[in-house]
Every structure is written in structure tokens, then in C-alpha cells.
Amino acid sequence: MSTPAISSAVTAIKNKPVVFTFTYTPLEAGAGTSFTDHLPFITGVGSFPPVERTVAFIRDVFPRATRVGTLYNSSDTNSRKVVEMAKKDMAEKGLTLVENTVVNTNEVYQAVSAICQRQIDVLWITGENTMMQAFDAVVKASMPGIRVIGTVYTPSEINSVFYMEALRKEAEKVGLTLLVAPASTVTEVSDAAARLLLAGEHHYALGLGAIGDRFETCKDRMGEFLLMDGQVAYLPADGSKRPDYMVNSGHLIASLTALYGVSCTGDFSALVRFTGEKGDGALEGKKAAGGSNTTFSAESLGVGPMLEGLYQLLGYEDFLMISIAEISGLVGVSLNQSPVGHPDLFAFPGVKEMVNFTTEPECEGMLGVTLGIYSRRPDEGLTRFLRPVSLGADAAVHLHTAVFPYMPLKKTGIDLHETMHTLLII
């Protein structure tokens, strides 16, 4: 029931129960003074869009975005109110809201085509009636490279948004992925504290998770994952021992359901190169001009000395690092089974079945891509996630490594996104 329909019902109906669903402003329409103090014969679910949360979501997932487009019916009071709120919130977060208006559904296709020509990075469909009725036109008129998103709802809110699955199906008909933030994006899933992670630009994360957007379909596959700048790779802990990956492509956003982990967004401040020259294995080097490029020479370098060397060279007590290097020997651990339903993961003797250890160095001559968090002064939350670099060390770290067939790296500028895409696709 729309807001005008509630106004009519309040006036015309006095002796029959009235129930409304997904109405932006039922109180303003006369249903009551609050959601606990309302007319005795009328009840329902108010659902004014969580604008501030949606703007924050856009800012976090698309850090490079500067212009967000939206369309709405200019004759709808509620739609105008949503846009005004969004304009203010976006300005505070460095975003520009680009608007276009329609009067009826016949104008939607042309309006979407026009706004996509105005250099927008994201197209936000607020959920107002006219746009929802013509969503097939939104899908057909949108341009490749422009992300189409809905509004970010919590689990309790999304239960009342009955049209979301219908919209998703319409999008799939024409090969478009509609990015509607699921419940686990904004609040923890009570079953396993899982969250949906989207592989946005300059977004990096590691932890335990599985490719998929629902906890129920992922819980038996939860394994170690890497999420790097639009690309996701993980090792399913379902016994298959076959890694899987997902990359951003067009409207498709790579994502996974994370059981736990560390997530970071930002640009790297330094590029450090390693050469294969003969030597005593010591880490040597100095900052290049500007501090952005450095070369180290060592025949073979362990993880501990490498991290300590980065700390000494760059002076960062806390940092995220990505290493791409030829492997002389890899020692590590991975899960054989998902930790969901196994609270005593490391209890003996069950740990022997749950976890796989390398008994000797492996993967010699292959290429290793390592994503890690290093800290000499971790806070309480990070402390639970990190482990000492070595016995008695001041620093702690958590590293995940993906192994690939050897591929020579460029001797000139290295593009991390391009390198990872090549490794995953080839």
C-alpha cells in the first residue's frame, strides 16, 4: 500500500482492519503519531530507505567513485525527500549526486540512457514506485562499467522488501547482476557472525570464507581466502582440495561470505623489489628517491626476515603487504574441513583430521602471492587474529598465500591488479 493509499484508507475506512507493507512514510499519511501509537484499525511496516547506510556502503565498496546517479519521479514527495537526504550525505563523503527525473514509466529507459552518459560511476535505484515498475528498462538501458545498486537493508528490513528477488530475476534475464546489499553486508548473521565481502577497488582482505552470498550455502566450504582489488581466491574446505576464484567483470562484483577476517581499503605507499642475486641471505637495501621503490638483493629470504626488513626500511609499525615472489620452499597450514559446527577445531586428536600441515617445504620454483597483516602494537581486536612472527618476536602477523605456476614478472612498472588477473585467468 502506497503512502497516498494510506491517506485514503485513513479517511474512508473506519470499521475494517488495514495492513500496509513497505510504505515510506505511513505516519505522515495519517496512520498514527508513532509506530507504537497508531490508529486502532491500521498497522503495517514502515520502510523509509536507510539513506545514510547506503551512502556509506557506496563509499566503502567503490572508493574511487565520485559521481552517483539516481532517478526518481519528481511528483512523488517521498522520492524527493530521499534524494535530498542522499545529496547531503553524499556531499559529506565526497560524492556528487547526479539526478534525473521521470513522470511515468514510459520515460525510464530514456532517462537511464541519459544519466549514464553523464560520467557516473554508480547508478543507485532508491526503490521508489516508478523505477521499480520499470526496472526492466533500467537494466536494458544501463551501460557496461556502471554499477547498479539498490538500497542497503538489514535482515529485519529486507524481510519486508518482497520485491528484491523479483528484481534480481529481471536483471538475470538480460545478463546483469543487480548489486543489492544482502543482510550480511550490514549486520552479522546470527548463525555464524558471517558477512558478505564485495571485492571493490583497492579493497583487500584475508580470513576464512567461501564464494557465495548466503551462509547456508557456504557453511560447509569455509576455507582460507584472499580478496585483492576486485579479485577473490580461496581454498574450499570441503575435501575437494581444488582452489576457486572469482573476478570483477562488467556488472559482476566478485564477492564471498566471510566467517571472520581482516579487511582493509586504501592505496599502497611503497613498492619493494627483490632480486635473485647470490649473497648471504641478508636483507639489504635503501629507499629510492621519494621512498616509493626499493630493491633488495638476497639468494633466499624467509618471511620473518622479510617482514623485519620492511619494518626497518619503511618504519611502519602496522602495515598490510602483498608479496609476489618465486618460492624456494613453502611451509604452512590449511583447513581440511569447514570450522562451522566444530567449536574445538584444534582439540587433539581431531585436529589431525581438521587441519593439513606441510611436513616439509613444498612448491619449489612456483610463484607465491602472499597477502598479510603485520603489527608491532595490535589492538585487542587484531591481537586475536595475529600470531608472533617467531618465538619471542615483538611483531605479530597473519599471512595467506596462493600458489601459481611460475611466471616472470615485469622488470618495469608492476600493476598489481593486472598481474593478479593474469595469474587467475591463465
d(CA 422, CA 260): 28
Cα atoms found within 13 Å of the Cα of residue 403, Cβ hemisphere only: 15
88 in the same domain as 167: yes
Which has more pLDDT, 51 or 284?
51
124 in the same domain as 141: yes
pLDDT surpasses 90 at 95? yes
d(CA 150, CA 180): 5
375 in the same domain as 391: yes
165 in the same domain as 148: yes
Least confident piece of the model among 105-119, 358-372, 404-418: 404-418
Range of the domain at 24: 3-46
Q: What does the pLDDT average to over 116-137?
A: 83
Residue type, 413: G
407 in the same domain as 276: yes
Q: What does the pLDDT average to over 413-419?
A: 79
Beta bridge partners of 122: 68, 147
Domain assignment present for residue 219? The answer is no
Cα atoms found within 13 Å of the Cα of residue 125, Cβ hemisphere only: 29
107 in the same domain as 13: no
Q: What does the pLDDT average to over 10-17?
A: 76
Domain assignment present for residue 369? The answer is yes
Q: What does the pLDDT average to over 163-182?
A: 45
**pLDDT band for position 94 (50/70/90)?**
very high
Domain assignment present for residue 213? The answer is no
Residue 117, classed as helix, strand or coil, is coil
Residue 325's pLDDT is what?
Answer: 86
**pLDDT band for position 42 (50/70/90)?**
confident
Over the stretch 276-300, which tens digit does the pLDDT of each residue have?
Answer: 555 544 444 444 334 445 545 455 6
41 in the same domain as 57: no
Q: What does the pLDDT average to over 225-254?
A: 86
28 in the same domain as 139: no
Q: What is the mean pLDDT of the chain?
A: 77
58 in the same domain as 13: no
d(CA 350, CA 201): 40
Residue 275's pLDDT is what?
Answer: 67
Which has more pLDDT, 179 or 426?
426
Q: How far is CA 212 from CA 91, 220, 255, 265, in A?
A: 33, 12, 7, 21
Domain assignment present for residue 190? The answer is no
Indicate the pTM of the whole model: 0.55
DSSP H or E segment with residue 264: strand 255-265
Task: Look up the CATH number of the domain holding residue 152.
Answer: 3.40.50.2300
**pLDDT band for position 234 (50/70/90)?**
very high
Characterize 75-108 residue by residue with b for buried, 16 or more Cβ atoms within 10 angstroms of its Cβ, and e for exposed.
ebebbebbbeebbebbeeeebebbebbbeebebb
